[in-house]
Structure 1
Amino acid sequence: MNVLVIGRGGREHSMVMKLAESDQIDHLYVAPGNGGMEDDATCVPIEETDFDSLVDFAKKNAIDFTIVGPENPLLLGIANRFKEENLSIFAPTKEASLIEGSKSFSKAFMKRHQIPTADYETFHEADKAKAYIEVKGAPIVIKADGLAAGKGVIVALTKEEAFQAIDDMLVSKSFSDAGATVVIEEFLQGREFSLMAFVHEGNVFPMPTARDHKRAYDNDQGPNTGGMGAFAPVADITDDIVSTATRTILQKAADGLVAEGRAFTGILYAGLMMTSSGPKVIEFNARFGDPETQVVLQLLKNDLLQVMLDVHNGKDPKLTWEDQSCFGVVVASKGYPGIYNKNVPVPLLKEDNTFNVYAGVKKSVNGYVSNGGRVLLVGSKADTIAEASESVYRTLSSMDSDEFFYRSDIGKTNENSLA
């Protein structure tokens, strides 16, 4: 088969690495990809949202199956367009992807289908939003309604921080149209975890749990990022909790989307909080999480292409997973998620028992140079999270550059130990 992956980040490199193991693939392409993927796939210089060029490429190169990584093309309707052209694609439609694309839609959807989540209200006007915060107090969570590259969520510990977030979104328009509507939620206490599943209509096949770390710096300090590290599975999330979350959240969401005429095919991601009253939804994504994908897919025993084909065709993929743990730490450009330099030589960070997943890099004469905020992830598989963590941090300790940084406490915060 000829297979096309759409995207350019670490999530897509993880997918490409796993797909490259398949005996069924003759030609594996990624559009646009990055320099770090070139050993595993042919990079095609087409932007993720250039649907005309992607369709044209798929037809000219006899692409049998297309897989979409990032959220923007999903919300713009790439699955709809490919289906109109009779091209096979593993991705939710524009209508189904709204579960990620609009926080206000997602929250109302959860209320309609009795999916457990935080209490909330939606606002368009700053004064009304601030009046609500005055009544509710802090801590409280402020979310931009639309896509904001993983940075549109503010956990305000004081009312002053909450008011500032409202001013940034509704007055200063810091997230443009994505922040023209805000969702204000109650602050949930507990342990966060991510639960992803392969979904087709009412069929839901969950993956192992993962936990990522969003804050830029150690001890969960600094601004929110797209994710600074992750590990899987999560020891404090039991099989019973996973079963409950699958039944009361993922399955209800899949069935609800079918019932509303927006049936979902692809990867459904639930960002969850394990509270004293059970798992509750923080957010849904309509695609693989990043960086959770980098640690979860490493544990998949199956041929990823066959899994997606089976799910797409309404079959049980009979998922099997390694009885191991996987741990990964992101190396980011100094200044991320704010302003940072590009074209900085990327240090070689690899040992026999670690692997690299590349995100913001491009090839140069002497190796890789940086081309983004999150540059790469250093990961390892082992019998325990503690062993995998030791390998990753030993590798990272060899980095001799003040142009990059990483968190030294992945797995040790968010009420989780390395046991």
Structure 2
Amino acid sequence: MAAHEDFFVLMGRKMEDWLRFSVCYWHSFCGTGADPFGAPTLHRPWNEGAPMDSAKKRLRAAFEFFTKLGVKYYTFHDRDMAPEGSTLEESNRNLDEITDLALQLQSQTGIQVLWVTCNLFAHQRYMNGAATNPDCHVLAYAGAQLKKGLDTAKKLGAENFVFWGGREGFLSVHNTDVAVELKHMANFFKMAVKYKDKIGLKCQFLIEPKPKEPSKHQYDYDAMSVIAFLKHYGLESHFKLNIEPNHTTLAGHSYEHDVVMASAFGMLGSVDSNTGSPDLGWDTDQFPMDIRNTTLVMKAIVEQGGLQPGGLNFDAKVRRESTDLEDLFIAHIGAMDTFARGLRNAVRIIEDGLIAGMVKERYSSFSHGLGQRVDEGSASLEEMEAFIKQNGEPNVTSGKQEKYESIFNHYI
């Protein structure tokens, strides 16, 4: 039995602690399979009936699914948990009623909220943005909705709160004051930080980058854009990033790029674990099944010591052709297995130390002499000139890319 248990312990931590899996509510339980070219194909029994009745059926079905799947976390938008009313007050009452039930189900099952977010993009009032809207009346509505979202996060004990700027950007620069919109978005975030402190909400704030779709250009374009924004406005100590690899590829990067870049700056907080089809050019939100990709992501996560309090949220939807209810289970189980295998691969790479040793050797000239002073930030251009006059032309060494790739393939 002990040997069996050891199989699930990697680098002194249980696999479930490295792999904090979460099911997203919107795709898995609100999704219908509809797309711009076709009608709904996923006819779920919990989506039938009056809005509040179906909301309760949907929530009970979701918790039955979470329990059978064996995950410990779920995520949701305010407006997919409870239907929007004709007024803010009615919307808030609906949310209160459904989250009362969610709180009961959480208590009964032990399943918790990984993160909450507000849908500040779907309603027509937000067609020109929410925090970046040119009309302060709209921005105020977004602020009121956010206030309730933060109250809900505290009520349900959410470990994180995500901001996704779906329409925080522009379609045309001709009618857009970029500097004003960025300043207003920063001030919106500062209001959120202030209110979070006021109510004693203990959770991590996350921003989720995406380069385009639905806007032509979105301000949270990629990891580096968001990090630069946070540092420029003095918000970097209050936020980390929730990286979605499908969004990363939309920005023209490789699958693992934004995970690695965010981690390098100590800003990787959570991962929306999906994938896409780069050849299509839009956000397809597929379940991740490529072990190479999950190995690279888990390597970055393990190297930074894990994702807590973030996790691996399956922001993915079954294909509109996958209409059987069992497909929802198969998709999640397959993705969980893919990440588990990626984790085991990543740990072997790290523990073997072969690739890390090769990388260290490649940068070894920065461990002594002039290189060490460059690394410490104490070198000068005069020193560099003197060094070249003494040592002449550098002897450029091979990057050995094919060797690295071949070694990496050995672990897959």
TM-score above 0.5: no
TM-score w.r.t. the length of structure 1 is: 0.29
For normalisation by structure 2, the TM-score amounts to 0.29
Q: Greater share of strand residues, 1 or 2? A: 1
Name which structure has the greater RCO, CA cutoff 8 Å, separation 6+: 1
**Counting helix residues as a fraction of each chain, which structure ranks higher?**
2
Structure possessing the higher radius of gyration over alpha carbons: 2
